[in-house]
Structures are given as structure tokens and as C-alpha cells.
Structure 1
Amino acid sequence: MYSTFTQKLTLFLFPSAILAALYVSLPFLGMLPFSWRDFMPYAVYLTFSLGLFLSFHFNRSRVFFVLLLLLAFCWNSDMLARGGDGFSALQRIDSIFCYLLPINSTLFCLMREKGIFTDAGCKRFVFLVLQALVLVILAKTAQADSLEATGLWLRNAAAGTRELPRIALPLMTGCGVIIGIATYVRHSIIDSAFLGILAALMIIFTHPPSADITTVFLFGAGLILLLSMLQDSHNMAYRDDLTGVLSRRAFNEHLNGLGRRYVIAMLDLDHFKRVNDFYGHDVGDQVLRLAGAKMLSVGSGGRVYRYGGEEFAIVFPRKSKDHVIACMEELRATIAAYRFAIRGPNRPDPPREGARNRYGGGAETCISVTVSIGIAESVDGKASPREIVVAADTELYRAKQRGRNRVCSS
């Protein structure tokens, strides 16, 4: 989960950069040796196979089923390029894929991840099997028809040009808008991969049929999904799922890479146990999540970590203690002034109404929390990072002893 605008923007740049690089490389494909060009289709199947293996291993049903669809489209495009018997049937299936792929990509993007070998996973598999049966029926019908009966799109495809059905491009655009909104709201790297897949498909379908374009951008779609799974798995290991900040594991590894000059701030929510005891753990989780979001906006190059429970750490590489103290005082005041609206069964849905209540315009139950902060600085690197953490934790304890809701530094 990401919170800053820059990090959200990175989600969109990730697939865009891969597709842009592939598009720029198209004119240079002719310079490759024939042995390399002959290997390109196999590279697509290899990428899809690796993606299927990893999605199966990580139990990611959304990625797994989308890859199955892409694999089917890739096989159909390969058969279409070879020509021969059943050409009109393959063309009809190719035209149907311009509807199925964006619709299914959008549906799987909006679905929650529920695994492959679960009831939900089995239902999704049956859903894809039914679509496959429809394709088979349509293909059999096309074999009995003349080429002209398949319509203008198929005649253009046979002539070496590809003209999409009128509704296809608006459909893809609408699906792209939906996936883009989901990516921005949920901050998911997997959702951004679905957006990249849709962009790759739009490039394929809006260009004349070409083995190079189809192969290159199907490879790009598979690569985007593959990298997104690896990045998502990395996030699961190094990012706290509840608050969206980096995890204790990431903090420990970051300590080993710090230079000689840095500042570490340790933060602890005051009387957090009372919040859990009085309002329940669900409300406590909400408070942790909102407090983490406030900390992520600290700026000045600070990297936020959840140290454990209600305790957080912020590392400021190459910053002075005086500068960090000013930042922490501002953060402490921001958290103390913020009213955390309790999300319950009567929580207002419109964000505007929720904001009005939060700032005193409504009767919604709100709570306030404060934070105590301890700061320690490394100037010459003589003390180890662990010693600086201990020093910052000592200052945090001193802030607690002095009445909480304050910043103390060594």
C-alpha cells in the first residue's frame, strides 16, 4: 500500500516504461539474427509458463487465470499467423478475444484475491471454462460459414489489416479507466499490471496483424505480470500490511546500509492500550492505519517503519538532528490535532460528510491520540546503528516519563 502521490504515480509508470521500451525496440527487431527472432515466440510461452508457475506457487488466482487467457490468445494468434485449415474459425476467435480479454482483465482486477484451490477459485475456473466452450461453439460455426459471413473485420484481417469492431475500442478505454481508478485507490502493483496488460492489448489490436507486434507485446504483458508478482511478494515481506509502512524486517536491513551521518526517530502512540480496551481492536487497527498515513507524509527523506505494536521508527539519512526535531514537532502536532473518526456500522459513506464530521461539523464519534517521540543522531559513525536505535528508544522512554505527547532528543 502506498500513500504519497509520487508512489501512486510509480504504479502507472511501471507498466508504461516496459511497454514504451518494447515499442521503441520494434524497428530494431529486423537487425536481430534469425536464430534470435525464431526464439521470440518461445520466449513468450516461457514467460507465461514461469508466470503460471509463480502464480500457482503464490496462490494468486487473479494472475493465474488472466495468464491462462493470455496464453489462449497467444496460441490462437500463433495458429492464425501460420494460416491453413480453420483460418476463418481462428479469425472469429481472434475477434472475440478483443472483447473477452479487457472484460476479464477488469473483472479479475476488481475481484478480491481468494486463492486458486478455494470455492471462489473453482467458480472462477468454471467461468473461464464456460467462455472456452463458447469460443469452441463459435469456431465450429465459423468453419461452416464463408469468410464473407464473418463480417468486415474478418475480411480486413484476411487482407492484412485489422479494424476493430466499433464498440471494442470504447470498451477497452472504459475498462482501462476502471482499472486505473482501482489502481490509484487500492495502490496495488497487481492492479497496475492489469492496466499494463490492457495497454499491451490495445497496441496489438489497433495495429495491423504482425507477428512481431503480437509477440513483443504479449511478451511485455507476461513480463509485467511476472514482475508485479515478484514486487508484490517483496512488499508482503518488507511492508506492513496493516499500516502500509515498511516492516521491521526492512528496518533491520536498512540499518546495515546507513552511512556515517543519519538520524533515527522512535515514535510510540500514547495510551494505545486504552484505545484497544475501550473501543476494541478493530478501532485500534484504524488508528494505527491513520497514524501510519500521517507519518508517511513526514517528508525530508524520512523512511517510516513499523517497529512493533504501536511503535514506529523513522530513519533520516544525511540529516541533522535539529532539522529532524523540527519535522517531528510538526508531525507530533499534526497527529495530536487530528480527530480519528471511528469507522462503525453507521459510518457515513460520502467522504465529504466524513470530513465534515472529522473537523467538528457532525455528531460522529471521534477520538484523538498523541505520540511520544525520541530522537538520536549519528554524526561520525562511531556508534553502531543498533546503539543509535537504543539511544532513540531511551529518549522515547524519557518523553513518556515527562508526560507524553512530546519530542525528546539526546
Structure 2
Amino acid sequence: MLKERGIFSIWGASKIAFFVFEIAIVSYFIFNPSENLQSFINIKLFAISFYPLKDVAFAIGLLVLFILIALVLFNRYLIYNTSFFVMVISFYGGLYFLKTAHATDISLLAISIIIFALLIRESYRLAFYDELTSLPGRRALVEDMAKLGMKYSLAMIDIDHFKKFNDTYGHDTGDDVLKMVATKLSEVSGGGKAYRYGGEEFVILFPSLEVEQAYVYTNLLREIVATSAFDVRKKHSNKKIYVKISAGIVQNKPEDKDPFATMKRADNALYKAKKAGRNQVVKA
């Protein structure tokens, strides 16, 4: 539940100190048994037996499980919380079947596999997804363009007057506008997929779609963004503004050497949309 703040910082040092303290306490009681602690561990909390787990251990396990269930249901990091939930089930399963052959080995193996999968997933997310908008980034776009077939359409999209907006309302509000536009673009129909190309520019790929169909879906997105009010919150007032986008959309041609040539033509179409007055989609 704590935010990641690195290892080489006061926060990282505090986490390491906490883990070392835990290990030290457990080690101390292993080598210096206490009758009071032993009686506390052996306390009976439930009418039924959960042998070989002690009742206190089972109660702690239940508390952890309830917390993780709440995180799975109400926290936005579903994949991570679900993984932690399965890890706890594996851990307590290994403890409960302690006397079964290889129970703990299988439990620890399952936990290791989950951690390994999480590391791969997190590495992929950092490499291919934009942190601000949660859209796939430029690297993901390049990889997906390499998989395109013989026919596809591509739209270059830009937020109108974004620099002026940043200068007027500040970069924090500008970031919120980027998130809002990205959310709308991510809901594109027709099998399209939105990417953040950089700054206030976005790209939508329409695999196997002709430009006439892709134009309809892109123009619909433009209308949705243009009619979606955005609240600019200041100290004592709220102001509703409307953000506009322009787009240039093209279909690949046989003479295009690669998808980047198609993207260049889409960028030229976007420039025409800007020159023609913005808040429109130009089909090249």
C-alpha cells in the first residue's frame, strides 16, 4: 500500500530497517523462547481446529485476506492486488499442508512464479505505456506498426491551442486535459487503438480498416471531445471549458515504404486541419 520511493532514500532505509527488525525479533524468540509468548501463540480463539496452524496465525491470515479482498474490489491496481491475494493463499496453503510432501516447496515455487510474472508485467508497463495518460506510448506504437497487414488507416491527432491553454491555466491543469482527451481516445470504435505519440499528439491505428470508415470513427471522437466540458478548478471558482482536437487521417498506399511514411502523410493532413481552422478531421 506504500508508494515506491526507491531504496537509497530515507523511505527505502526505513523499509529495510523494518524488515531487519522483524527478522531480528523472530530470531531472538527462536533462540530465546519465552513462556509468555508461547502461551499467547497457543491461545484458543476458534471452536474448531486448524492444525497445524495455530489459531493466532489463522486469525492473522484472515485479517490479511480481508484486506487484500478489499484492495482487489476497490483499488485500481487489480493485477497486483490479485497477485498478492494468490500469493497469500499459496503461502497459507503451504503452511496448512506442512506435513504433506513438498507442500512448502510447491507453495514457494508458486509465489516465485507470481513474483517473476509481476516483474515482467511491470517492466512491460514501464517500457510500453505512458505514465501520465496510461495509453500505450511511442515504443508500443512502433512495435504494433511492425505487425500491420496490407491495409490499415492511421490518424494523427493534436489538441488545439494546447500551449496557450498551459500558459493560461498552468501545467497541472494541462496534464488533466491530456488525461481527459486520452480517456476519450481510448474508447475509439472500429477496432482502433490509441497511443500517446508525445506532448499533446496522439495516434490512432485502424488495422484492416479503410480510410472512409476510420474517418467516421475519428470524427466521432472529435465531436465527443469538443462537447465534453472540462472543469478548471481554482481557489474560489470553477470554470467550464471545452477542449478541441484536430486530426489528419490517411490509408496506407503501396508506394509507402513503411508505416512511418504513412504516418508522415497523416501528419501533413493534420497540418492542413490546423491551417483550415482546427477542430476538424482532414482525410488525405
Taking structure 2 as the reference length, the TM-score comes to 0.86
Structure-1 separation of matches of 2:219 and 2:41: 70
What's 1:132 paired with?
Answer: 23
Aligned partners of 1:147 and 1:114: how far apart in 2?
Answer: 38
Match of 1:378 among 252, 274, 281: 252
The CA distance in 2 between the partners of 1:308 and 1:283, in whole Å, is 17
Kindly report which structure 2 residues correspond to 1:180-259, keeping only aligned pairs within 5 A, or say none.
180-181=72-73, 184-186=75-77, 189-207=79-97, 209-259=99-149
Report the Cα distance in structure 1 between the residues aligned to 2:172 and 2:38, rounded to whole angstroms. 62
Could you report, residue by residue, the CA deviation over 1:238-268 in whole angstroms, capped at 9, with x for unpaired residues? Answer: 1111111111122223222211111101100
* Among 54, 65, 68, the residue aligned to 1:176: 68
Relative to structure 1, is the Cα distance of residues 322 and 205 closer, same or farther in structure 2, using a 3 angstrom cutoff?
farther
Which runs of structure 2 are paired with 1:142-181 in the superposition (5 Å)? 142=33, 151=42, 161-162=52-53, 164-165=55-56, 167-181=59-73
Tell me if 1:387 matches 2:261: yes
| Residue 263 (str. 1) matches residue 137 (str. 2) | no
Alignment length (residue pairs): 277
C-alpha spacing 1:377/1:332, structure 2 compared with 1 (3 Å): same
User: Hey, what's the Cα distance between the residues in 1 that align with 2:4 and 2:170?
Assistant: 27
Aligned-pair CA distance for 1:367: 2.3
Structure number with greater CO (CA < 8 Å, separation at least 6) is 1
1:121 has 2:121 as partner: no
SS in 2 for 1:167: helix
2:223 paired residue number: 333
- Does the 8 Å CA contact 1:262/1:316 hold for their aligned counterparts? yes
Given the alignment of the two structures, is residue 401 of structure 1 paired with residue 270 of structure 2, yes or no? no
- 1:67 maps to what in 2? none
Q: CA deviation at 1:144?
A: 6.2
2:213 to 323, 328, 343: 323
1:171 Cα deviation after fit = 0.6
Distance 1:160 1:167 in 2: 13
Richer in helix (by share): 1
Aligned mates of 1:253, 1:286 — CA distance in 2: 27
Identify, as 1 or 2, the structure richer in strand: 2
Give % identity: 29
How far apart, CA to CA, are the structure 1 residues paired with 2:107 and 2:95? 11
1:343: how far off?
A: 5.2
Cα distance change of structure 1 residues 337 and 202 upon mapping to structure 2, 3 Å threshold: farther
